[in-house]
């Protein structure tokens, strides 16, 4: 599914001011005064449009076009970079663990996620009552809404802790002002949504217009990730095996193939779910916008001033030196993930050994597409949010240093060294049977396999607050004198994002996280 090819009207948005319109400005929208909540949900087209609108927040600033970037820069693999002024102050506040309740990451992640959740709630409520619809499409739409509601809530509960739990559209302004729901109850709903979505979703799509929609394997993979995050290893292993054994998915032989426009939305290959981006659709009169359908990562993460992107690159999200030095010799993921000094750009120029915001000449390469067109924040490279490689690592973590667990992690390791994935390697295979050593190896593998896919902070957090504080204290010492906005040292009171102050002001039922 190319999400940008669909539009939605204000007809299926809440009238409480919770949601904003989702037209992408390149398709005509039906006049709002001719469509109402009462007459919109009548046809299959209505159902599909309403469902498509739920995806619309994924490629905006509240998700993968700004806020989600923070969860690597906040962690121990990268730093804000850019220049020494106010660029990226929202990320620098996180790095310093000096986070105001007005922090832009906290505000946008909260707002964007709840927009998506409320759109999902509307679909789950309205679509079952549509009569003029193919039952298969009806079931699929409900499953997509369940999957996406779970995804948005998974992001929220990991970032903020307790959050308000909405499972139906609020019916009045007062119904919006509910208190925060305990984490365990939110996770229970996430689990149920994904189990239901697995039963409702299709295994694959053949029509080009539907490629990119959530499948049952996206739901199964995310459910395995939810369970491992909760520490429910038996359930995580069960769902990881479901994906591995039954999805028909295979890993790319070449790691870098995961991050190429020409390989997007393949039913047979590694990606289980991708956030869709399309270039060439940003408005010509306002190219500096991250709330349409083009990705800004090519520009923001591109080497600053290198003239390799339409805006010459901003140099955000700089890989930390200890992370770069931690790659094993021969690991092909390094060349696919990071620009290092001497790397040759498409025009023949070379990466500098020192640049503004990157004292050692490191930049993120994973989302680089170069000068794809003249639009400045407008890459069409999708972001895979679940890959088969991660499912193997979830299985390995869940079952430990058993034969099954070692084979799962070793498939990922073999690929990283350019070896046949299913053939044992005496040189590269992990053989330890020590549970502690094996757990460390799995988390290390996640660190390098999923680098700059915006998951590292959550991996630290699920190892416990004490571990996170210790790791970030070590990182602050390692980076002293290296960067202009060094990592601070956290306490238990700033390991969660603050509830946005605007939400606290508007909702007397909300209680702020401790320390803010």
Cβ-contact 409, 445 below 8 angstroms:
yes
CATH number, position 67: 1.25.40.390
Residue 94 in domain: yes
pLDDT 10s digits, 75-131: 999 999 987 677 899 999 999 999 999 999 999 999 999 999 999 999 999 999 999
Residue 180 in domain: yes
Cβ-contact 98, 342 below 8 angstroms:
no
Residue 380 in domain: no
pLDDT at 26 over 70: no
Phi, psi values for residue 84, rounded to 5°: -95, 5
Residue 479 Cα distances to 212, 230, 300, angstroms: 39, 31, 22
Q: Tally DSSP H helices, then E strands, for the chain.
A: 19, 6
Residues 340, 323: Cα–Cα separation, whole Å? 12
pLDDT 10s digits, 43-85: 999 999 999 999 999 999 999 999 999 999 999 999 999 876 7
Residue 234 in domain: no
Q: What is the mean pLDDT of residues 311-320?
A: 94
Cβ-contact 479, 486 below 8 angstroms:
yes
Residue 368 in domain: no
The pLDDT value recorded for residue 84 is 67
Residues 375, 285: Cα–Cα separation, whole Å? 10
pLDDT 10s digits, 257-269: 999 999 999 999 9
The pLDDT value recorded for residue 373 is 75
Cβ-contact 179, 510 below 8 angstroms:
yes
Question: Residue 218, Cβ neighbours under 10 Å: how many?
Answer: 27
pLDDT at 335 over 60: yes
The pLDDT value recorded for residue 306 is 93
The pLDDT value recorded for residue 386 is 98
Q: What's the whole-number average pLDDT of the chain?
A: 91
Q: Position of tokens 């600053």?
A: 304
The pLDDT value recorded for residue 285 is 76
Burial of 217 (0-12, 13-18, 19+ CB in 10 A): buried
Alpha helices in 231-310 (DSSP H): 233-246, 297-301
What domain range includes position 91? 3-201+496-501
3-state secondary structure of 89: helix
Residues 423, 449: Cα–Cα separation, whole Å? 19
**Distant-in-sequence, close-in-space partners of 67: CB < 8 Å, separation ≥ 6:** 61, 105, 108, 109, 112
Burial per residue of 93-107, b for 16 or more beta-carbon CB atoms within 10 angstroms, e otherwise = bbbbbebebebbbbb
Give me the half-sphere count of Cα atoms (radius 13 Å) on the Cβ side of residue 168: 6
Write out the two tokens for 492: 């238990």
The pLDDT value recorded for residue 343 is 97
Ramachandran area for residue 464 (φ above 0: left; ψ -120 to 50: alpha; else beta) = left
pLDDT at 175 over 70: yes
Of 28-37, 301-310, 335-344, 458-467, least confident by mean pLDDT is 28-37
The pLDDT value recorded for residue 173 is 82
Q: What is the mean pLDDT of residues 141-151?
A: 98
Map 316-341 to HEC letters. EEEECHHHHHCCCCCCCHHHHHEECC
Residues 265, 153: Cα–Cα separation, whole Å? 24
| Dihedral of the alpha carbons of 472, 476, 479, 483, in degrees to the nearest 10 | 110
Cβ-contact 46, 40 below 8 angstroms:
yes
Residue 162 in domain: yes
Residue 123 in domain: yes
**427 or 84: whose pLDDT is higher?**
427
3-state secondary structure of 69: helix
Residues 486, 133: Cα–Cα separation, whole Å? 56
Residue 96 in domain: yes
Residues 317, 357: Cα–Cα separation, whole Å? 9
Of 16-25, 57-66, 427-436, least confident by mean pLDDT is 16-25
Q: What is the mean pLDDT of residues 146-166?
A: 98
Residue 102 Cα distances to 46, 64, 503, angstroms: 37, 20, 10
pLDDT at 22 over 60: no
pLDDT at 16 over 50: no
pLDDT 10s digits, 280-313: 887 777 778 888 889 999 999 999 999 999 999 9
**237: which DSSP letter?**
H
Domain count of the fold of the chain = 1
Write out the two tokens for 504: 């606290």
pLDDT at 36 over 70: no
Cβ-contact 279, 294 below 8 angstroms:
yes
Residue 243 Cα distances to 134, 150, 377, angstroms: 27, 18, 35
Q: What is the mean pLDDT of residues 174-188?
A: 95
Q: What is the mean pLDDT of residues 322-327?
A: 97
> To the nearest whole percent, how much of the chain has pLDDT over 70?
92
pLDDT at 174 over 90: no
The pLDDT value recorded for residue 485 is 60
The pLDDT value recorded for residue 370 is 95
The pLDDT value recorded for residue 87 is 87
**184 or 31: whose pLDDT is higher?**
184
Residues 186, 113: Cα–Cα separation, whole Å? 14
Cβ-contact 180, 511 below 8 angstroms:
yes
């Amino acid at each position: 599914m190319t999400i940008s090819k669909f539009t939605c009207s204000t007809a299926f948005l809440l009238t409480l001011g919770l949601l904003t319109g989702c037209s992408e400005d390149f398709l005509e929208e039906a006049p709002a005064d001719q469509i109402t909540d009462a007459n919109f949900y009548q046809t299959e087209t209505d159902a599909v449009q309403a469902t498509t609108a739920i995806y619309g927040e994924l490629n905006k600033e509240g998700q993968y076009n700004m806020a989600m970037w923070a969860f690597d820069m906040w962690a121990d693999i990268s730093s804000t970079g850019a220049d020494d002024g106010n660029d990226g102050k929202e990320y620098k506040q996180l790095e310093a663990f000096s986070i105001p309740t007005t922090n832009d990451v906290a505000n946008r992640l909260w707002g964007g996620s709840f927009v998506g959740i409320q759109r999902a709630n509307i679909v789950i409520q309205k679509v079952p009552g549509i009569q003029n619809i193919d039952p298969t499409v009806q079931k699929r739409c409900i499953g997509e809404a369940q999957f996406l509601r779970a995804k948005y809530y998974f992001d929220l509960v990991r970032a903020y802790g307790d959050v308000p739990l909405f499972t139906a559209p609020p019916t009045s302004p007062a119904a919006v002002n509910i208190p925060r729901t305990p984490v365990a109850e939110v996770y229970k709903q996430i689990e149920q949504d994904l189990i239901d979505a697995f039963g409702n979703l299709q295994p694959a799509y053949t029509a080009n217009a539907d490629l990119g929609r959530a499948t049952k394997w996206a739901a199964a993979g995310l459910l395995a990730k939810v369970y491992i995050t909760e520490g429910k290893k038996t359930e995580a292993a069960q769902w990881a095996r479901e994906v591995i054994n039954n999805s028909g998915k295979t890993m790319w032989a070449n790691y870098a193939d995961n991050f190429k426009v020409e390989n997007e939305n393949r039913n047979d290959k590694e990606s289980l779910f991708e956030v869709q981006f399309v270039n060439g659709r940003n408005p010509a009169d306002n190219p500096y916008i991250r709330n349409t359908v083009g990705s800004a990562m090519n520009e923001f993460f591109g080497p600053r001033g290198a003239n390799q992107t339409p805006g010459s690159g901003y140099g955000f999200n700089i890989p930390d030196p200890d992370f770069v030095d931690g790659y094993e010799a021969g690991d092909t993921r390094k060349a696919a993930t990071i620009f290092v000094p001497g790397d040759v750009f498409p025009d023949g120029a070379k990466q500098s050994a020192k640049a503004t915001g990157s004292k050692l000449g490191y930049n993120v390469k994973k989302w680089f597409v170069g000068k794809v067109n003249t639009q400045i924040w407008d890459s069409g490279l999708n972001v895979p949010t679940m890959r088969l490689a991660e499912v193997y690592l979830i299985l390995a973590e869940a079952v430990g240093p058993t034969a099954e667990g070692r084979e799962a992690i070793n498939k990922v390791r073999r690929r990283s060294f350019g070896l046949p994935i299913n053939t044992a390697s005496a040189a590269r295979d992990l053989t330890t049977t020590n549970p502690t050593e094996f757990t460390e190896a799995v988390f290390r593998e996640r660190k390098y396999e999923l680098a700059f896919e915006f998951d590292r902070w959550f991996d630290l957090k699920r190892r416990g607050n004490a571990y996170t504080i210790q790791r970030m204290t070590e990182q602050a010492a390692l980076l002293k004198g290296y960067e202009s906005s060094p990592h601070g040292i956290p306490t238990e009171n700033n390991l969660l994002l603050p509830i946005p102050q605007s939400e606290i002001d508007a909702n007397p039922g909300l209680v702020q996280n401790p320390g803010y």
